[in-house]
Amino acid sequence: MNVELLVLLAGAVLIVSARTVFVLAAYAVLAVTASLLIFPSVLASPVALAFFVVTTLMKVVVAPLGVILFVRGNPTAADLRPSLTLPLRLLLAIGFALVSAAAAHIPALSAIPLQRLVAYVVLCGVGTLIVHRNVLSHILGLLVLGAGVTLAGAALAPQLPESIELGATFDALVGTFIGLALIREFATHHPALDVESLKRLRG
């Protein structure tokens, strides 16, 4: 299957689906695809390769395992509680695909490789954060956003693999360990992991 089509479908599932397990599967597809696309750029530097291995382990193994454990412990967390209706989520996914396609036609961006893919992955990361109210989806959204930024680094500045992978490692560290540790505490107060409870702090 074409890589762009695979990413397009995975991104759409991230936005449209309301079930944690489907979104997790879509995230895994995106994370693995992004890692495979980034891999050639890190081969030139052993330091970058080491960071890449650590980051990939966190994104592809630790984060999904953490999410699965939370869902097993809190069955109510299997529902991502989208804040938009299904038709609106579909429209948003289509909108992201169209905006990404349009990015390729912007003269300033036309010379950058993978520009459509990067724009789509970044938008899907932000979309996952906005659309779902379950905090587990926020972790996945942050990691997808991080994958998009790392992909952008591989496309924009392939001469700086160490800097890019160091950034990716920090992103993954924040999302995976700090995020999951906070969710563990959060779950004791809000077992459904519904971010709506944050609203009472506003204003």
State yes or no: residue 126 binds other proteins (CB under 8 A).
yes
Number of residues that bind other proteins (CB under 8 A): 43
Residue number with CB closer to other proteins (9 or 104): 104
Nearest to 79 by CA among 194, 182, 183: 194
Collapsed DSSP state (helix, strand, coil) of residue 111: coil
Q: How far is the CB of 68 from other proteins (least distance, A)?
A: 20
Site for other proteins in 134-193 (CB under 8 A): 135, 138, 142, 145-146, 149, 152-153, 156-157, 159-160, 163-164, 166-167, 170-171, 173-175, 178-179, 181-182, 185-186, 189-190
Residue number with CB closer to other proteins (87 or 107): 107
Between the alpha carbon of residue 85 and those of residues 10, 21, 65, 89, 97, the distances in Å are 19, 19, 28, 6, 19
Residue number with CB closer to other proteins (87 or 203): 203
188 near 202, Cβ under 8 Å? no
Token couple for 196: 């709506």
Q: How far is the CB of 2 from other proteins (least distance, A)?
A: 25
Residue-wise DSSP of 33-45: HHHHHHHHHHTT-
Strand partners, 79: 19
Token couple for 90: 């579909």
67 near 140, Cβ under 8 Å? yes
- Contact residues for other proteins (CB under 8 A)? 107-109, 112, 122, 125-126, 129, 135, 138, 142, 145-146, 149, 152-153, 156-157, 159-160, 163-164, 166-167, 170-171, 173-175, 178-179, 181-182, 185-186, 189-190, 195, 197-198, 201-203
